[in-house]
């Protein structure tokens, strides 16, 4: 990612202080995030990269569950990272400002697992594909990709909820591709064994979990 354009949490920088509360009460966070952590299953020796880590909620839980793993949180939003730094009290977590690239990571550091939650829906279509390709290039053979985000909104109720909340804050153009199933398409690619593991109906639309294992060709 080589530009300085990004969508802040909740769409506007002024709303960043409200982000954690909004996610907690409007998205059934305890349900989908607990499922995501269980799916990631951090193990001693894992090197886990959280792309678009935001305010650090996922990193904090992962590090508490497995202090023997090594974690990096990457995000271009300095205000969000400042909030993450106050939330995180673990020596095994490093927070790095910036966009996803090989150069953004410490030299020689290759993730065994990459995760991202509620990030893909905020970026433009061409960037969604670019991010997925970079993730794939960074993972070591046998590595895993774990995604939680708004994906295809199958029911009229979930589509309406997504339209009235997420799209009002994060914009229609970038988010509509998720609602139409772009994640289902870009994650099913050569070299990946992908499954959509769970979906959670929320007041803001359906949030889905994906697991993709990278298989070297």
> Over 80: is that where the pLDDT of 10 sits?
yes
**112 vs 6, residue with greater confidence:** 112
Task: Dig out the tokens for 155 from the structure.
Answer: 């029911």
pLDDT tens digits along 21-62: 999 999 999 999 999 999 999 999 999 999 999 999 999 999
CA distances from 196 to 33, 92, 211 (A): 15, 29, 6
pLDDT band at 190 (very low <50, low <70, confident <90, very high): low
Per cent of the chain over pLDDT 90 is 83
> Over 80: is that where the pLDDT of 217 sits?
no
Per cent of the chain over pLDDT 70 is 95
pLDDT tens digits along 113-127: 999 999 999 999 999
3-state secondary structure of 148: strand
pLDDT band at 91 (very low <50, low <70, confident <90, very high): confident
Report the pLDDT value the prediction gives residue 2, as an integer from 0 to 100.
Answer: 41
Contacts of 94 (CB under 8 A, 6+ apart): 71, 72, 73, 106
**189 vs 198, residue with greater confidence:** 198
Enter the pTM of the model: 0.94
């Amino acid at each position: 990612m080589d530009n300085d354009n990004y969508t802040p949490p909740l769409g506007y920088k002024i709303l960043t202080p409200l982000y954690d509360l909004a996610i907690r009460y409007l998205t059934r966070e305890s349900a989908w995030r607990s499922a995501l952590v269980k799916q990631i299953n951090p193990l001693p020796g894992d090197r886990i990269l959280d792309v678009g880590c935001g305010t650090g909620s996922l990193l904090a839980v992962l590090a508490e569950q497995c202090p023997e793993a090594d974690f990096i949180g990457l995000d271009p939003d300095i205000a969000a990272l400042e909030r993450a730094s106050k939330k995180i009290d673990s020596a095994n977590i490093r927070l790095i400002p910036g966009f996803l690239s090989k150069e953004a990571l410490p030299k020689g550091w290759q993730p065994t697992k990459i995760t991202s939650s509620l990030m893909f829906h905020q970026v433009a279509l061409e960037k969604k594909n670019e991010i997925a390709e970079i993730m794939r290039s960074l993972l070591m053979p046998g590595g895993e990709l774990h995604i939680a985000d708004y994906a295809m909104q199958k029911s009229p109720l979930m589509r309406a909820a997504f339209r009235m909340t997420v799209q009002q804050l994060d914009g229609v153009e970038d988010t509509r591709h998720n609602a139409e199933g772009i994640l289902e398409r870009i994650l099913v690619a050569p070299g990946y064994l992908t499954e959509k593991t769970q979906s959670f109906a929320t007041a803001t639309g359906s949030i889905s979990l994906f697991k993709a294992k990278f298989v070297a060709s």
